[in-house]
Structure 1
Amino acid sequence: MFIAFVGNAFAEVPAGDYLSGRPILRIEYQQSNIFDTSDPSTSSWPYRLANALHVTSREAFIRSMILFSEGEPWDPVIAAESARILRSLDFLNPVFIEARPESEGVVVSIRTHDQWTLQLGAKFGIQGSRKNYSVKFEEENFLGWGRGITLEYRKDHERSTWTYIYSDPNLFGSRWRGRVLFADASDGHREEVLAERPFFSLATPKAWGGEWKNWRQIEYLYGDGNQVAGGHRDFRLLRLWWGTRLPAPEKTVRRLSAGFHLDDRKFSDWYRESSPAPFPTPDNVKISGPRLDFEQSEDRYEVLSGFRGWSAQEDIAFGNTLRAGVTFSHPEFGGDIPRLVFEGSWAYRVQKNGWLLMGDIWTSGRLDDGSAANVITGFQAAASQLGPRGWQLRLLVEDSIDLDRENQLTLGADRGLRGWDPDIFDGTGRAVFNLQWRTLLKEEFLNLFSIGIVLFADAGKTWGARVGPGTDGIRVDAGVGLLADMTHIGVSNVLRLDVALPDDGGGVTIIVTSSALF
């Protein structure tokens, strides 16, 4: 059974591997099922039944995802990236790729551990007074080929929805990826199609693809945690792109993409929930024109444990990551008015003395006939002690200029202010600070999950409220929670149960969710 806590990052292979350059004589694959039934603690019938119901990832599928083959020279950097690609599938963790000398070459060993990928049953979530449930059949690794199939019924405070999804990370054994989604909701529908040959590795020279989305649903605005206004939104998106890798210094990756971007949003029949009077309908927006995207990152990935969960391997990109994009929309290209649509982000990750330090800055918006519109700019600074216990803290601030009428920057349990219902505080700007201390209580409980306790305090503020009350100053809360790392049910699956007390004495707020705060 694998579990490890580290205060420092570790790599799958040594940086100065003396075997580099030797030819790969053969590749040996070792795929482990969910549980090791040779271990007495996981040899009873429930664990054997789980293994029997699960199809282990096929050797041919793993071979199709890695970046090297027999006869090529051994490169530990490419091996480490191949391990990251396998872990990014979210159902293989941990993954180890190692080489040993043999004759004049090397033999490569690839060891993968499958996670449970079949979800058949019901889910229930709580965030304050807001509840949701779903009944789902989902298989993320259908027949061991990495293909995803989802059939789900979900009901929440806004709508009930039947959703059907099919995805394939390597169509017909190629580097092409595809995804098809159809959703039939009580207030509309969604259709999505994606086909792309992406930058599947840092060294990939070219990429291209296309995406289509067509949505119709009712959008809502919130005040005091309740729906105060809403109306129909029709949304169409078309993206076509072609990208290339640019020359860059060693350990730096630069990419430039060009394409066409259509984003058409139409609004109608907006109303107030508590009044027969109509609500001002948001303005229609049609963006259509050429688009450019630039990305720069550093090839400084490390593998960590003890960050979001307790034991799963997580790939962290250290150093700087920069992304920027711009769309030139004009009536001659099919747009409504001349617009310049922009977005950009910068992220920085570094590890010091057992701490993971993170910084993020982002912005997005438009220039409509030269005037700023729907501009949202924010930053986040966070720090986390790695390992089985320690502190985590985060400060997030966002502000806006001329925010579109259908948008809000709300604050509540869904945004980190855990003592209050989701969307309870309205705003066109917000800030939230989170501080928590956590410790592992039991690792591999029943060989299913590791569980720990979290003590936390939050503080937050909104400003520029338009449709509901703001925070009227800084609001605070404090509470206690449980964090379970579902070590055999996918790397991204954590379970949080938080109980928080707000500063107004209004009673506890309970949160049950499978998403991590940090």
Structure 2
Amino acid sequence: MSNCNENHDSFRHSIEVKSKSPTIIQTIILFTFVSLLPFCFLAAEQKKEQNKFQMYNGKIIRSISIEIRDIFDETDSGSLYKTINGVKVNTREQVIRRELLIKEGEAFDNFKLYETERVLRALRFLRNIELSVSPDGDFVDIKVRVQDTWTLIPKLGYSTGDGKEKKFIGIAESDLLGYGKRAELGYAEEDNRRTVQTVWEDPRLWGTEQRLAAAYLQRNDGELSFFSLDRPFRSFLDTYSWGIEGNDVDTIGRLFENGDEYYIYRQRLLDLGFNYTLSSARNPEDEVSRYSFGWAINNARFYNATLKDYEDLSLNPAELLHDEALRPENRRFSGPTFLYEYVKPDFISSNYIDKFDRTEDYNLGIDFTTRLFFAPELTGSNNDSVLLTSNLAKGWRAGEGAFTRGEFGLSSRIERGLGLQNSLFRTEWNFFKVFSPSFYKESFIGRHTFASAFSLDYGWELDKDRQFLLGADTGLRGYDARTFDGDKRFLLNIEDRIYLV
């Protein structure tokens, strides 16, 4: 989970646990346990509060008006505010209207209104989403009020706090010309790597339900490219989704010990996938089940590093190991995938968690996913294999302005003749408490959010290119980047976040 990086007081601790590797039977039992956990929580679900517009269900929607407010309200005086409002191209009404799940002439449905609010809040270029309903006999009139945000973000920075020198410059726009499209261009230097990055995202390709995302990174040690075209689930009312994506990586891989590289290799990774998902729900306000099938190809090839690879990373070959036994084994998995997801919507809306005063939605209901990837030799895999993944998330309210949310996850690979490979058990827990604004006499001096996070990664028989690292760049403050390495990782963080704006 992302956290604010400024003004945090943190305590983090890491510990390594050693034990014997679990057997296949133990892993299957653990996988089954994680898979059945959601049903243990069914009785503990809290009944949702009835929405104040529930009594208007069935009335005909006569009109829907949309008001898009400037970044700064008219009450904000000063030429700077007026200049910013004038420079920013306002989000276009058609961008807002196409996201609405409610339509003029249809019967009003309170849940559709509730879902529309969530959909609009998910748009990163909008804030202060308000939907109001005015009844008039057998009709209702709906008003949608949103507020623009400043979306053209210049990026310029330099840091050495984690033991690594970082430089970056770039620009990002998330509401290009008011159409809601995102574009980024940037240059960065880090770890002797120089990167030029370009990103493009169109959440409504040609005004359709389809979403397009593409990225390309050119580095001095190789290149990375990503492409995705899909029709995502935007709300619990959607009945189907599909997606196609590809990821191609040709870079130098590195293994670390005590913060320094001790072995490097050339890696070529190719991931391709397609999926089609059906959503089934008698009452999507209460629970949703999703069934997905598709095809995936994961191809990983590893080669010895060349002299040029060492030069690209400014490394001295004499100071690193050259044992080919350290090089990861080639892998190829190809075959059908099957996924099941069970969701109980129970959202809480809060600001001052990750995005300052921007309100975000967090699902405290059950979200359970399990995926099976069958990869036999018959379909081009290196070995008969089954890859399985299971994840469970659940949250609870903890008083006014507070909530906690936890996740359990398990992933593993079973290969013929090799048994369990690349297995991982992980858990993560977060707690947030948002306090009221603080004042000194009549002057606003900030807001506080208490946040704590706990995470545990426990791996066994991991692939050689999969290494857990812990340091300043992964949340362990007070240490250099990649100070610790291993196949087990524990992290505890306690923060008092202070927001001065």
Bin for the TM-score computed over the shorter chain: 0.7 to 0.9
In structure 2, the residue matched to 1:157 is: 191
Between the aligned partners of 2:219 and 2:498, the Cα distance in structure 1 is 41
Match status 1:422 vs 2:481: yes
Match status 1:275 vs 2:320: yes
- Contact persistence 2:56–2:108 (CA under 8 A): yes
Between the aligned partners of 1:390 and 1:195, the Cα distance in structure 2 is 37
Match status 1:183 vs 2:217: yes
In structure 2, the residue matched to 1:299 is: 345
Between the aligned partners of 1:64 and 1:246, the Cα distance in structure 2 is 24
Give 1:14 deviation, angstroms: 2.4
Q: 1:125 to 1:107 in 2, by over 3 A?
A: farther
Match status 1:147 vs 2:188: no
**Which structure's residues are more often helix, by fraction?**
2
Match status 1:237 vs 2:279: no
Between the aligned partners of 1:63 and 1:233, the Cα distance in structure 2 is 45
Equivalent residues in 2 for 1:461-480, closer than 5 Å:
none
Q: 2:191 is matched by which residue type in structure 1?
A: H
**Percentage identity across aligned positions?**
23
- Contact persistence 2:456–2:491 (CA under 8 A): yes
- Contact persistence 2:352–2:449 (CA under 8 A): no
* TM-score, normalising length: structure 2: 0.81
In structure 1, the residue matched to 2:403 is: 356
Give 1:415 deviation, angstroms: 2.7
Equivalent residues in 2 for 1:73-84, closer than 5 Å:
73-84=107-118
In structure 1, the residue matched to 2:389 is: 343
Unaligned runs of 5+ in 2: 1-45, 311-316, 436-446
In structure 2, the residue matched to 1:375 is: 423
Q: Residue 260 of structure 1: which of 278, 292, 295 is its match?
A: 295
Match status 1:328 vs 2:374: yes
Q: Secondary structure at the match of 2:366?
A: strand
- Contact persistence 2:368–2:392 (CA under 8 A): yes
Q: Secondary structure at the match of 1:18?
A: helix
- Contact persistence 2:263–2:320 (CA under 8 A): no
**Which structure's residues are more often strand, by fraction?**
1
Between the aligned partners of 1:240 and 1:112, the Cα distance in structure 2 is 35
1:445-466 CA distances to partner (integer Å, 9 max, x unpaired)? xxxxx2xxxxxxxxxxxxxxxx
1:495-516 CA distances to partner (integer Å, 9 max, x unpaired)? xxxxxxxxxxxxxxxxxxxxxx
Q: 1:306 to 1:191 in 2, by over 3 A?
A: closer
Q: Residue 69 of structure 1: which of 76, 82, 103 is its match?
A: 103
In structure 1, the residue matched to 2:172 is: 138
Q: Secondary structure at the match of 1:175?
A: coil
Between the aligned partners of 2:498 and 2:195, the Cα distance in structure 1 is 38
Give 1:286 deviation, angstroms: 0.6
- Contact persistence 1:229–1:273 (CA under 8 A): no
Give 1:33 deviation, angstroms: 1.8
1:312-354 CA distances to partner (integer Å, 9 max, x unpaired)? 2010101211011111001211111111111121111111223
Q: Residue 262 of structure 2: which of 228, 241, 246 is its match?
A: 228
Q: 1:360 is matched by which residue type in structure 2?
A: E
- Contact persistence 2:392–2:408 (CA under 8 A): yes
Equivalent residues in 2 for 1:434-513, closer than 5 Å:
434-440=493-499, 442=500, 450=501
Give 1:419 deviation, angstroms: 1.2
Q: Secondary structure at the match of 1:268?
A: strand
Q: Secondary structure at the match of 2:478?
A: coil
Q: Secondary structure at the match of 1:77?
A: helix
What's the RMSD between the two structures over aligned residues?
2.2
Match status 1:30 vs 2:64: no
Unaligned runs of 5+ in 1: 1-8, 443-449, 451-518
Q: 1:424 is matched by which residue type in structure 2?
A: T
Give 1:126 deviation, angstroms: 4.6
Q: 1:390 to 1:186 in 2, by over 3 A?
A: closer
* TM-score, normalising length: structure 1: 0.79
> Per chain length, whose mean CA-contact separation is higher, i.e. which structure has more relative contact order (CA < 8 Å, sep 6+)?
2
Give 1:118 deviation, angstroms: 0.8
In structure 2, the residue matched to 1:460 is: none
- Contact persistence 1:366–1:374 (CA under 8 A): yes
Between the aligned partners of 2:100 and 2:243, the Cα distance in structure 1 is 21
Give 1:221 deviation, angstroms: 1.8
Which deviates the most, 311-320 or 248-257?
248-257
Give 1:125 deviation, angstroms: 4.5
Match status 1:203 vs 2:262: no
Between the aligned partners of 2:150 and 2:165, the Cα distance in structure 1 is 26
Q: Secondary structure at the match of 1:69?
A: coil
